[in-house]
Structure 1
Amino acid sequence: MSARRRQARSAETDRKNRSRNLAKSPWETILKYDRRCTKAFGLCATQNSALGQLRPLMKVLEISCHGVPWLIGTVIWFVCVHKPEDVELSVNLFLALIFDLVIVAVLKMLVQRPRPANNQMDMFATVSIDHYSFPSGHTTRAAMLACFYIERVLINQLPMTLILTWSACVSLSRVMLGRHHVLDVLSGCLIGVLEYLAYSQFWIPQDKCLLWLEPYFGHVHL
């Protein structure tokens, strides 16, 4: 009787294991293909890579979308502007950048996906959470900024085209530098657009910006 029970338990365990393997198989296949594509497109991951001579240009793109310069630049923009509509834009841009940082940090902590094997940790101004790969923070920021400027700031076709081109180049550079997997970047584009759409629901209008900031910055330009 005990032998039959052991056989039954063994059969049940095998069945459960097969079910788990079947359930994991599609996702594992996607991740395997993702790693393969990431390795193939990491053309600037090192100086010895196929397009290693373009690595400095890729790093310029990396810095151009780093959170620190954008936050500092937005604060300088706020201090220098005098028009109420510019105050509204600078305040909301600053808060949108903070929103992006929080969302990316939370997702990185939850997923904790390692960066690609060919990545060199020589990034500008990183913190411990930057050791994780999903999603690409530069890509979410680039997509969110493109939406912000096209929707709220730019009115001519040429500047819109330029910021879309910059956003696409930043996203592409993340894979070429070996910083992120392809899936990290594709997801980052989607997350960045969703971030902007979500923040737009809580957009702080001009009158509230002026009302809230008057006691603190009224002597500057409000």
Structure 2
Amino acid sequence: MRREPAVINSDTRLEGDKRVVPPFLKNILKKDVELTKKFVAHCLNFVQIRSFKNHCKFLEWSCHGVVWLAGLIAFTYIMGNSKLHEMEVNLFVALIIDIFAVAIIKAITRRRRPAINDDPFCIGPDMYSFPSGHASRSSMLLLFFMFLYSFPVLFWPPLVAWWLAICVSRLLLYRHHILDVFGGIILGFFEAFVMALIWIGPEASTEFVRWISDERVAGNDAEIL
């Protein structure tokens, strides 16, 4: 008995290939786009903010995941101080968690960025917008250095100022919408909470660094003794 070929509805195929956004969410995203444009346009009416925008590229690099990871590894190797291993190892874990969390959420949401980064000297950003990786990373670092591995209170005001500047710069550079930045902030705070739960103590941190680079650590400990 001959079977008739299955008929595939073109509308169904289109819906299967393309994500269907619920109407209420589509309205929220539309309002977010409009509000972001109005906010940025209003901010750029002020000379001080237009001047601040010239420094946004530096701020972008100052919170880049690659820069922080490479800088942390170099710092750990150069310093070779066992008293800093607790901070270094936990910060490394926090950065890895942030990078993977942002990548996974972006792959799920797949929200497009408002503008393409045309800077040939900048690594990234990727094509997806929600959540803001810079906002999540800066938020996690803010709580990390304020409460988890606390810096002296004297350093808190510049740290908060840097965090705020990072979040605002993502909008002024038109890398993200407002909801992307708020989503990144919430994610970063949650990452700091997770780090508080899984915090690695000084002994385990030193053992981890020794496992990675036994000769370097042993040499520095000998010099200290």
TM-score of the aligned structures, taking structure 2 as reference length: 0.77
Distance 1:206 1:108 in 2: 34
| Distance verdict in 2 for CA 1:97–1:186, change over 3 Å | same
For structure 2, the residue ranges without an aligned partner over 5 or more in a row are: 1-20, 219-225
- How far, CA to CA, are the matches of 1:76 and 1:208 in structure 2? 20
Number of residue-to-residue matches in the alignment: 193
SS for the counterpart of 2:216 is coil
Any conservation in 1 of the 2:210–2:217 contact (CA below 8 Å)? no
Contact 1:62 / 1:138 at 8 angstroms: preserved in 2? yes
- Gaps of at least 5 residues in structure 1 are 1-22
1:39-88 deviation digits (Å, cap 9, x = unpaired)? 123349x9xxx966544311111111111111111112211234433011
Hey, what does 1:199 align to over in structure 2? 195
In 1: Cα distance, 2:105 partner to 2:85 partner? 30
Q: Is the 8 A contact 1:112 1:133 kept in 2?
A: yes
Instruction: Determine the structure 2 residue equivalent to 1:121.
Output: 117
1:219 and 1:152 map into 2 onto residues whose CA distance is: 29
- Give the 5 Å matches for 1:76-95: 76-95=74-93
CA contact (8 A) 2:85 2:205 kept: yes
Q: 1:37 aligns with which of 35, 42, 46?
A: 35
Q: Which residue number in structure 1 is paired with residue 205 of structure 2?
A: 209
Return the alpha-carbon distance in structure 1 between the equivalents of residues 179 and 136 of structure 2: 13
> Is the 2:209–2:217 Cα contact (8 Å) retained in structure 1?
no
Letter in 2 for 1:138: H
Deviation at 1:217, TM superposition (A): 2.0
Match of 1:166 among 162, 186, 198: 162
Give the distance between the partners of 2:91 and 2:62, measured in 1 at CA. 16
Shift of 1:176: 1.2
Question: Percent identity at matched positions?
Answer: 32
Alpha-carbon distance in 2 for matches of 1:194, 1:164: 17
| Change over 3 Å in CA distance of 1:204–1:51 after alignment to 2 | closer
What SS class does the counterpart of residue 198 from structure 2 fall into? coil
Query: SS in structure 2 opposite 1:113?
Result: coil
Q: Which residue of 2 aligns with 1:145?
A: 141
Q: Write the letter of the residue equivalent to 1:134.
A: F
Q: What's the offset of the Cα at 1:221?
A: 2.8
- Structure 1 match to 2:107: 109
Q: What is the CA-CA distance between 1:27 and the residue it aligns to?
A: 2.9
- Report 1:6-21 matches (<5 A): none
Once residues 38 and 96 of structure 1 are traced to their aligned partners in structure 2, the CA distance between those partners, rounded to angstroms, is 29
Q: Counterpart of 1:29 in structure 2: which amino acid?
A: N
1:43 and 1:52 in contact (8 A); partners too: no
Distance in 2 (CA, whole Å) between partners of 1:25 and 1:218 is: 57
1:166 shift after superposition: 0.4
Q: 1:37 to 1:208 in 2, by over 3 A?
A: same
Counterparts of 2:204 and 2:49, CA distance in 1: 50
Offset of 1:162 from its aligned partner? 0.9
Query: Cα gap change, 1:152/1:39 in structure 2, threshold over 3 Å: closer, same or farther?
Result: same
The aligned amino acid for 1:78 is T
CA shift digits 1:111-138 (9 cap, x unpaired): 000111xx232352016xx100000000
Cα distance between partner residues in 2 of 1:122 and 1:110: 25
Q: Structure 1 residue 90: deviation in Å?
A: 0.7
Match of 1:72 in 2: 70
Q: Is the 8 A contact 1:81 1:87 kept in 2?
A: no
Matched residue, 1:177: 173
